[in-house]
Structure 1
Amino acid sequence: MSVRVLWAGRWPAVDGHRLTGGSPPGIPPRRRQIRPKSPAASDARSLPRPLMWRSGSWPCYMIDEARTWGVDVPLVVADAGYGDATAFRLGLEERKLTYAVGISSRLTAHPGHAQPVTPAYQGIGRPPVATYPDKPTTVKELVMQAGRQAARPVSWREGSRPGKGRSGFKRMYSRFVALRIRPAGREIRQATKGAELPERWLLAEWPAIEPEPVQFWLSSLPSGMPLATLVRLAKLRWRIEHDDGVPLCGVADQG
């Protein structure tokens, strides 16, 4: 597992114990181990490594250690191997870090407009608590319910194939659906104060030639974020994988 920082158009690796591909200002260019300063990082480091992977603590610890080097973390991008891990996303939120992570189609959520309802008290036992009346559905089902008509065309970067554009290369283009949702699950419920689950962005790529969405992302970016910006930031992860050819976790600049 490696954490990469987008710096000067490149993704040098910062995994807590090594740094390759060049050094951003203030980061040591050689192998070294730095004691994490945050309590969260210290707690994560005390866990057995397998438990770190299951709990999502290990990648968060690595980000903590990069931050002790003075690395700014305006946005975290990662593939579905990390995005599906509720503990990883909650760890980012505890650190007040914004993210745009890949997720699988099986992740469950409520629509953004869903509201918890408190059943009438019958006067016996404990008063009921507010809950969502409908069961959560998968993110794929939510996008399918929105329908193909909800998809909008977006071009987010230049590709590698020759084209007629100003740069001489074709631009990457597809259709995307963006919905406000409330991710569900026991861990999220336990971490949420109050009955209302937090809203997040669900972004789905739905090419015109495909019968259903082909890729999904979950993001904590602000609710007013334009679709084109959502797509551009979510797609930053491709640049990390393109460098090494393996799934990674990255820290990116929103600018």
Structure 2
Amino acid sequence: MPRRSPPSGPAPHRGHTATRNPGPHPVPTPSPPTVTRRHLRRSTLTVIQTQALGKVGNCQIGVSVHAASDTASCPLSWRLFLPGSWDGSVAAGRRARCRISEGEHHRSKWQPALDMLDELAAVGLRPAVLVADTGYGANADFRHGLEDRGLAYALRVKGEMTAHAESAVPLQPLYGGLGPRSLPRYRTHPVSLREHVLAQGRDRAAADDTEADRAGPA
């Protein structure tokens, strides 16, 4: 009986790993949040990654997608992250020693993250909610990519980031008849996310006080 050729490339193997059922305890489905995170491993690769380690370390950096619940987390897909210093002829020697293929090059972490989500969606795995840290939450391209894919998400962000209120609507300036038309613009200035949160708290406290006044003394 002829032997069947193995699937080409790593994608089929990752899809099989993400969907296989190891006995009576199935791999978590996309119903729990899907978490995108970094993982570290000691290696000969030299990567300066102070944000993840809190120090300078000698390690590999990976981007991975996990199915997570309150009690467990299961990796579904992963990618090696290559810094920009590993591209070009200067890095040819160490790339060869580490057996890095010619097609692998530096990409921002959010790009392989979206690739993995597309790969998982192709085998029927879409997260109910996707959770990621500030490195992804502060990236507008990543957020737009999630919205383009119709994915619900809860991303950690920095308080100093700015945004308009939900009620703010960009207005189209009147066309004067000369030159190109102006792009729609907001009439209000964005404020920090911290101030948005504080304003929500103040509004909620005021609403609670109003309800208490209407109810009268207990």
Superposition TM-score tier, normalisation by shorter sequence: 0.3 to 0.5
> Which one has a larger percent strand, Structure 1 or Structure 2?
1
> Which one has a larger percent helix, Structure 1 or Structure 2?
2
TM-score (norm 2): 0.47
Whose RCO is larger (CA < 8 A, sep 6+)? 1
